[in-house]
A and B are shown apart, each in its own frame.
Chain A
Amino acid sequence: MSENALLELRGIYKSFPGVKALQNVDFNLRKGEIHALMGENGAGKSTLIKVLTGVYTKDEGDIRLDGQNVTIRSPQDAQHMGISTVYQEITLCPNLSVAENMYIGRSDNIIQNWKGMFEGADKMLKSLDIPAEASAQLASCSIAVQQMVAIARAVDMDCKVLILDEPTSSLDDQEVQKLFKLMRDLKERGVGIIFVTHFLDQVYEVCDKITVLRDGKLVGEYPIKDLPRVELVSKMLGKELDDMSEIKTEKKDTDKEDDSTPVYEAEGLASTEGIKPFNFYIKKGEVNGFTGLLGSGRSECVRAIFGADRVISGSVKKNGKTVKIQKPIDAMKNGIAYLPEDRKVDGIVGDLSVRENIILALQVMKGFFKPLSKAEANAFANEYIDMLKIKTASADTPIKSLSGGNQQKCIVARWLLTHPEYLILDEPTRGIDVGTKVDIQKLVLKLAGEGMSITFISSETDEMLRTCSRLIVMRDRKVVGELKGDELTQSKIMSTIAGGEGQS
């Protein structure tokens, strides 16, 4: 089409039983361009990428690479053509060295030139400015460096197109900056980068162009400067959206002081995960949150409350009565529910159906000898599928085939079904689309309005400011402050996290 065109997709169709995942989608990538692929969960981003990398075969359409029509049959095929992918989860081998990870599966020779391999890896790492030793074990590097090693591997394989699928979701700000620098370097070298992320800030920071998908269809391709954020969001959702400001007004009347007995109160709570003993309480209908940098111990605190890690000290009161919470089942019996941070590892039971995933916690509470009848289970599942607008073919669909946001809604449904008094949501909005994020925040405020106590944790501070009336600030596994009322501002949070008195 135009000069410098690197990759062109025309009229791509792909459907699965019952779902049209992609319909007539076009996509263009030029040399030396960072191109964001945006859309809600289930919009077809992942499917498009899987078509590009040969994981799925397209039903119809053309793929042109460097002006030549190509057929991509398998991920190996894609790699040979110069299309490399770095996924959200690290797909390398943590127990091998950095160099081995960069070269694994690439040589046709039976004999490995170890010396050459290490030297080559070192050179590559240096040229990309990646702070890692070729001989170091991969697991000893930080997640960000592991992510970069994955990129280095891709780059070293002469890649023309680099696909980054949510690479930043487990990185902190500094690490993200390092990654962006690497991306800009590669851009200089003429590599075309497709960047998939849920973080709008990051899109506006590094990308040149945005392609928006919705419901498996192409919405459009826009240069970054022609598409302000609000418009991007409304294009992704397919409607003009004032929901964010709506949320704020809904919150107002939840900030009130009262002297009632807390629903949950802990004193000197500590677990084996190394958090300093902390005190905590939550009142009826209150929404509070833990904030702090990644690794500051906010997840560990709520895990201790739920008994997910082994509790080693502290006393707990539920509605003023002393109770013992050692295991998750104790917490559940005391009306506490916990949505874990890592949806894939701790949340979903992948092969089980949406229905089984939704009823699981309730079922466990009812006990081994009292299974729900199939009709009851279906009724519960369908009730929550409707209520939370979970997009699924049926209640029998395995949960792993749903998009991330819909999986998360199933887990929320699972805990709502147990009718908890106190609900802990640890990063419920991570890695899911804007629409679902808004849905979840609205739900939190609605539930609090109905009298449920909720602890809400999010990496995105503005989400917490919007929903919480009290924030507990963590630093280095210690509670360092508590903010409420007028103190709830971005800058005050930052300065509390950073420590010290002055506001920089």
Chain B
Amino acid sequence: MSQKGSKGSIQDLFGKLVRKQIFIPIAALFFLLLFNLIFDPGFFVITLGTNSAGDPVLSGNLITVINMGSELAILAIGMTFVTAASGGQDISVGAAIAIAGSTLLRVLCGTNTRPAVGELRTSILVAFIISCLVAMAFGAFNGMLVAIFKIQPMVATLILYTAGRSIAAWINNNELPIISDPEFGYFGGFIPGIPVPTPVFIAVACMIVAGLVLKFTNLGLYSQAVGINESSSRLNGLNPVFIKWLTFVILGLCVAVAALIKVSRLSSINYSVIAKDIEMDAILAVALGGNALSGGKFNLWASIVGAYVIQLLTTTLFKYEVPSDALPAYKAVVVIILVVFSAPTVREKIGNLKKKTVKREVA
């Protein structure tokens, strides 16, 4: 009797877990890890070595995942808010990263594209703040088109998607500045003496800030309310136009942070390649997290896990020496499976299946 009861409660617990939104991306994460564990346990090896400067660094596939996934995770935060409030996505984040990165370099280098060590025009902090402002301004532009002029988000951001990389090139007169100061490389690489890559810390910091914002402000409630029912939100004293606009500005800030990491990794920039197609991965991260792309309710943490799932998938495929040309095709197959499984209708079916089998067992 009691045994049956406990079994039932375990089933219940499992059922509850399956219904949780964050379950799907976490399950996908585990599945990919399990796949690697079975086919090549070497995937999990992490070694402590030294880099060319003689500083200790950790390396290994898992480190690559959390390192390279940082930009995507940061963008997923902003994209989740935009999706929730506006019911659409910003497809210009890749181009916006090019702009923010280009601004950063321009402020640091001025017109001298090859500054010697110690010859930077301003401190990195000042340059970063300026690039944040520029990225937020472009976010505000997108937000204005969407919130005030009621243009479909994808169409509105298509403008910047098309023009962004040219604007980025124009900011630096089409030159490709290279920074040789080692400090600049810290943001995308390692800080001497710390073996964990810096982008990981930056991403974690962003998540903490996002978590605090959700806890200590009403951004979550407001953006969801506006995304679900704009008219009713307005009658409850909210300003839907402002809230939608605000989410685009927040995404702009995320773009600037991602741009800092991206540019720092290379200590340079390539306008046409930097952060290419990252907007699609960011949107995918939101979708993988089980968030409705039509807006409304969201789970930020599920989006972030979704971002790391995508990075893990990319790294795994690289590991198995899938040529980089063929990578998108392989990725697509896995993504289709994940998205289908995270679709509410499919999950409901699975949930029902579980219930039925339990019923039969009892009978």
Chain A residues with CB under 8 Å of chain B are 306, 308, 327-329, 332, 338, 340, 345-352, 356, 360-361, 363-365, 367-371, 414
Asked if B218 and A349 sit within 8 Å, CB to CB, the answer is: no
Shortest CB-to-CB span from B200 to chain A, Å, is: 29
Shortest CB-to-CB span from A368 to chain B, Å, is: 5
Which residues of B are found within 8 Å of A348, using beta-carbon distances? 229, 232
Which 4 A-B pairs give the minimum distances between C-beta atoms? A329-B237, A364-B237, A349-B229, A328-B237
Candidates B216, B221, B297; contact of A351 at CB < 8 Å: B297
Candidates A327, A332, A345; contact of B232 at CB < 8 Å: A345
Shortest CB-to-CB span from B24 to chain A, Å, is: 18
A-contacting residues, B256-286, CB 8 Å? none
Which residues of A are found within 8 Å of B216, using beta-carbon distances? 369, 371
Interface size on B, residues (CB 8 A): 22
Asked if A346 and B237 sit within 8 Å, CB to CB, the answer is: no
Q: Does B233 touch A at the CB level, under 8 Å?
A: yes
Which residues of B are found within 8 Å of A345, using beta-carbon distances? 229, 231-232
Which residues of B are found within 8 Å of A361, using beta-carbon distances? 236-237
Q: Does B121 touch A at the CB level, under 8 Å?
A: no
**A369-B216, A371-B216, A371-B221 given; A364·B236 CB < 8 A:** yes
Which residues of B are found within 8 Å of A370, using beta-carbon distances? 218
Q: Does B57 touch A at the CB level, under 8 Å?
A: no
Asked if A350 and B228 sit within 8 Å, CB to CB, the answer is: yes
Asked if B237 and A332 sit within 8 Å, CB to CB, the answer is: yes
Asked if B217 and A351 sit within 8 Å, CB to CB, the answer is: no
Asked if B228 and A346 sit within 8 Å, CB to CB, the answer is: no
Q: Does B296 touch A at the CB level, under 8 Å?
A: yes
Asked if B221 and A346 sit within 8 Å, CB to CB, the answer is: no
**Distance between Cα atoms of A70 and B234 in the complex (Å):** 47
Which residues of B are found within 8 Å of A351, using beta-carbon distances? 224, 228, 296-297
Asked if B219 and A340 sit within 8 Å, CB to CB, the answer is: no
A sample of 13 inter-chain contacts (CB < 8 A) reads A329-B237, A329-B239, A346-B231, A348-B229, A349-B229, A349-B233, A360-B225, A360-B236, A361-B237, A363-B218, A364-B236, A364-B237, A368-B217
Q: Which residue in chain A gives the minimum CB-CB distance to B15?
A: A17
Shortest CB-to-CB span from B87 to chain A, Å, is: 12
Which residues of A are found within 8 Å of B231, using beta-carbon distances? 345-346
Asked if A308 and B235 sit within 8 Å, CB to CB, the answer is: yes
Q: Which residue in chain A gives the minimum CB-CB distance to B246?
A: A368
Interface flags, B205-237, vs A, CB<8A=1, else 0:
000000000011111011011001101111111
Q: Does B158 touch A at the CB level, under 8 Å?
A: no
Shortest CB-to-CB span from A195 to chain B, Å, is: 30
Which residues of B are found within 8 Å of A369, using beta-carbon distances? 216-218
Asked if A368 and B218 sit within 8 Å, CB to CB, the answer is: yes
Which residues of A are found within 8 Å of B239, using beta-carbon distances? 327, 329
Asked if B217 and A346 sit within 8 Å, CB to CB, the answer is: no
Which residues of A are found within 8 Å of B215, using beta-carbon distances? 371
**Distance between Cα atoms of A308 and B238 in the complex (Å):** 11
Shortest CB-to-CB span from A243 to chain B, Å, is: 30
Candidates B221, B224, B235; contact of A363 at CB < 8 Å: B221
**Distance between Cα atoms of A469 and B129 in the complex (Å):** 62
Shortest CB-to-CB span from A245 to chain B, Å, is: 35
Candidates B217, B219, B235, B297; contact of A328 at CB < 8 Å: B235
**Distance between Cα atoms of A347 and B235 in the complex (Å):** 8
Which residues of A are found within 8 Å of B237, using beta-carbon distances? 327-329, 332, 361, 364-365
**Distance between Cα atoms of A329 and B237 in the complex (Å):** 4
Asked if B217 and A347 sit within 8 Å, CB to CB, the answer is: no
Asked if B217 and A371 sit within 8 Å, CB to CB, the answer is: yes
Asked if A352 and B224 sit within 8 Å, CB to CB, the answer is: yes
Which residues of B are found within 8 Å of A352, using beta-carbon distances? 221, 224-225, 228, 297
**A356-B221, A368-B217, A368-B218 given; A349·B228 CB < 8 A:** yes
Asked if B234 and A328 sit within 8 Å, CB to CB, the answer is: yes
Shortest CB-to-CB span from A357 to chain B, Å, is: 9
Which residues of B are found within 8 Å of A347, using beta-carbon distances? 232, 235
Shortest CB-to-CB span from B57 to chain A, Å, is: 41
